[in-house]
Amino acid sequence: MAQISVNNLTFSYEGSYDNIFENVSFSVDTDWKLGFIGRNGKGKTTFLNLLLGKYEYSGTITTATVFDCFPYHITKEQMELCAAEFIEELKSRCELWRVICELEQLHEDAEILYRPFKTLSPGERTKVLLGVLFSGENDFLLIDEPTNHLDQETRENVKQYLSSKKGFILVSHDRDLLDACVDHVLVLNRQTIEVQSGNFSGWWENKQRRDSFVKAENEKHLKEIGKLKQASERIAAWADRNEGTKIGYDPVKEHDRSPATRAYIGAKTKKMQSRVKQMEKRINRELEEKEGLLADLEQPVDLKLMPLSHHKETLVNVRDYSVTYSDAKNPVFSNLTFSIKKGERIALHGENGCGKSTLIKIILQKTGFMEEFYQRFPDGKPVFTESGVCETASGLIISYVSQDTSMLKGGISCFCKENNLDESLFCAILRQLDMERVQFSKNMEDYSAGQKKKVLLAASLLTSAHLYIWDEPLNFIDVFSRMQIEKLLLEYQPTMLFVEHDVKFREKVATGVVEL
């Protein structure tokens, strides 16, 4: 067992005026199964790259261990090859038989190593790369979001697999995965960094208790400061009035006043002013104790949604529906029957490649929503034959969140103009999703994957619609924002069709599940 010690780490990207890390210090053991938690854009992936030596920084990172990182970068040339042909390029001295052994633990046949990498499903690719990652010895492994785009069965395989390993940092926003796989957490709070033993749920329970205590302490300090300010202002007013009586007096009303009275009044005023100064010191002391109390407090703002009400009760009706791509022999899915009524939130569920995204695109196409999209990207239009019924209510207004964020380029202003969004409201929603204002001046291609997804979600939330269609909306989205969105959907109860592999989110939000 070795240690990774980080001391006074400071880092910012070239050309950026905000530091990702500033004078950060902590240490972790390489024997731990460490979950890495934090808001989008806080620097989780950046920190992994710093460990790998990809960027220059000030401060020190001290360790005797060797790092390896998931996911590996796959080149265009490698995409055309079988994985067995290029695994040594990904990890030096990687032996094929070790990768096969790891694949067996992942419940995957070694046959996938001998198929062109581009033909593998997202789950199969993830398993190959994890097999390569864990095929070495004595490496400390850095694993960045291994379950994005994976179906439920593959997630379960990866979860069981990682829970049997040790010696890694796992970056993930999947609460179920973190609970099953980690024994320590490294948390990037708003202002501080903490290392704690236990899984996500244990840390979250402690954090809620700590946040409640912090809020109570803050209220106590505010009340005390209020009382002291009132008392200070009252005594200061008395002192001023008293001081004003030193010179000049009414001989009729104050016939017993002697020349020594002026000195007495002055002494009394001085004593009152001394009490005011003491109270000011107490106020400053209370303010110092209050300062920093709320620095790490998570207080997600309640989001708002403005769903439209359609005159028809059933918005989507699918009956005995089958779809086959023009270049395929077998249907993507067949004999599918379900409907979406007003107020229902239907989750599409099934393994990768079962047709969830295909079905979503067909429904979007039938509403006319995708026509402009297909005009700009004609290669994206699915060519298929269909049988059965798939119909949508007339005049249906859709709000759509795509899996893909690669189209996001340029600044926020251009994005809002292209999508007819009110820029000030759009930025307000991004702030509510905890996006820093400094990000608004950057180009979206420089955003983290989670920040890009928040752009699409903010656009959807700002669009009033009869039906909200979200295709894997939570990929890369941080845990706090996931909870925020859960609360929103349960409060406003929009009509939805969505695909999401986050088990806890689906269990809380969905009113029905359609298995493909």
Per residue in 7-58, pLDDT tens?
A: 999 988 876 667 788 888 989 888 899 999 888 878 888 888 898 888 888 8
CATH of the domain at 369: 3.40.50.300
38 and 187 Cβ atoms separated by less than 8 Å: yes
- Is residue 509 assigned to a domain? yes
Q: What is the pLDDT confidence band of residue 333, given thresholds at 50, 70 and 90?
A: confident
pLDDT of residue 454: 92
pLDDT of residue 158: 85
More confident call, 273 vs 174? 174
Q: What is the pLDDT confidence band of residue 413, given thresholds at 50, 70 and 90?
A: very high
Residues 342 and 397 in one domain: yes
Percent of the chain surpassing pLDDT 70: 89
Domain boundary among 199, 234, 269: 199
Q: What is the pLDDT confidence band of residue 294, given thresholds at 50, 70 and 90?
A: low
Residue 475: Cβ within 10 Å count: 21
- Is residue 92 assigned to a domain? yes
Q: Where are the beta strands (DSSP E) in 51-192?
A: 58-62, 66-70, 139-144, 168-171, 184-188
Residues 70 and 212 in one domain: no
pLDDT of residue 136: 82
pLDDT of residue 415: 92
- Is residue 146 assigned to a domain? yes
Residue 69: Cβ within 10 Å count: 19
Judged by average pLDDT, the poorest of 193-202, 270-279, 372-381, 384-393 is 372-381
Residues 175 and 83 in one domain: yes
468-510 pLDDT, tens digit per residue, is 999 988 888 888 888 899 999 999 999 999 998 888 889 899 9
- Is residue 415 assigned to a domain? yes
Interatomic CA distance for residues 310 and 316, integer angstroms: 12
Apex 67 CA angle, 444 and 91, nearest 5: 90
Q: Are strands 58-62 and 3-11 parallel, antiparallel or unpaired?
A: antiparallel
116-155 pLDDT, tens digit per residue, is 998 887 778 888 998 998 888 778 889 988 887 777 788 8
Average pLDDT over residues 391-404: 90
465 phi/psi in degrees, rounded to 5: -150, 160
501 and 318 Cβ atoms separated by less than 8 Å: no
pLDDT of residue 490: 93
Residues 157 and 195 in one domain: yes
Residues 187 and 219 in one domain: no
176-190 pLDDT, tens digit per residue, is 889 999 999 998 887
- Is residue 328 assigned to a domain? yes
Domain boundary among 238, 255, 290: 290
Residues 358 and 445 in one domain: yes
Residues 27 and 176 in one domain: yes
227 and 282 Cβ atoms separated by less than 8 Å: no
Question: Would you state the structure tokens that stand for residue 452, as one six-digit string?
Answer: 């890009």
Number of domains forming the structure of the chain: 3
Q: Please give the residue range of the domain that contains residue 61.
A: 3-199
- Is residue 302 assigned to a domain? no
Residue 366: Cβ within 10 Å count: 14
Residues 213 and 251 in one domain: yes
Give the list of residues 6+ apart from residue 142 with CB closer than 8 angstroms, or none. Answer: 48, 51, 52, 67, 68, 69, 70, 168, 169, 171
Interatomic CA distance for residues 350 and 338, integer angstroms: 15
Q: What is the pLDDT confidence band of residue 257, given thresholds at 50, 70 and 90?
A: low
- Is residue 307 assigned to a domain? no
Give the list of residues 6+ apart from residue 420 with CB closer than 8 angstroms, or none. Answer: none
Distances (CA, A) of 221 to 91, 121, 235, 361, 382: 56, 56, 21, 55, 62
Percent of the chain surpassing pLDDT 90: 28
Listed residue (35, 43, 32, 38) closest to 4, CA to CA: 32
Listed residue (405, 398, 404) closest to 369, CA to CA: 398
Q: With 0.75 as the threshold, say if the pTM is over it.
A: no
Q: Which amino acid is at 277?
A: K
Listed residue (437, 487, 500) closest to 461, CA to CA: 487
- Is residue 385 assigned to a domain? yes
160 and 152 Cβ atoms separated by less than 8 Å: no
Interatomic CA distance for residues 85 and 2, integer angstroms: 34
Q: What is the pLDDT confidence band of residue 378, given thresholds at 50, 70 and 90?
A: very low
Average pLDDT over residues 425-429: 92
Domain boundary among 290, 306, 333: 290
347 and 514 Cβ atoms separated by less than 8 Å: yes
Interatomic CA distance for residues 150 and 170, integer angstroms: 16
Structure-token match 């006074």, residue found: 8
Question: Would you state the structure tokens that stand for residue 314, as one six-digit string?
Answer: 């059933």
339-349 pLDDT, tens digit per residue, is 999 999 999 98
Residues 279 and 380 in one domain: no
Residues 128 and 225 in one domain: no
Q: Determine which helix (DSSP H) or strand (DSSP E) holds 432, and give its type and residue range.
A: helix 423-432
60-110 pLDDT, tens digit per residue, is 999 888 888 988 999 999 999 999 999 999 988 888 999 999 899 888 889
Query: Is residue 381 over pLDDT 80?
Result: no
Residues 340 and 400 in one domain: yes
Mean pLDDT of the chain: 84
Residues 387 and 480 in one domain: yes
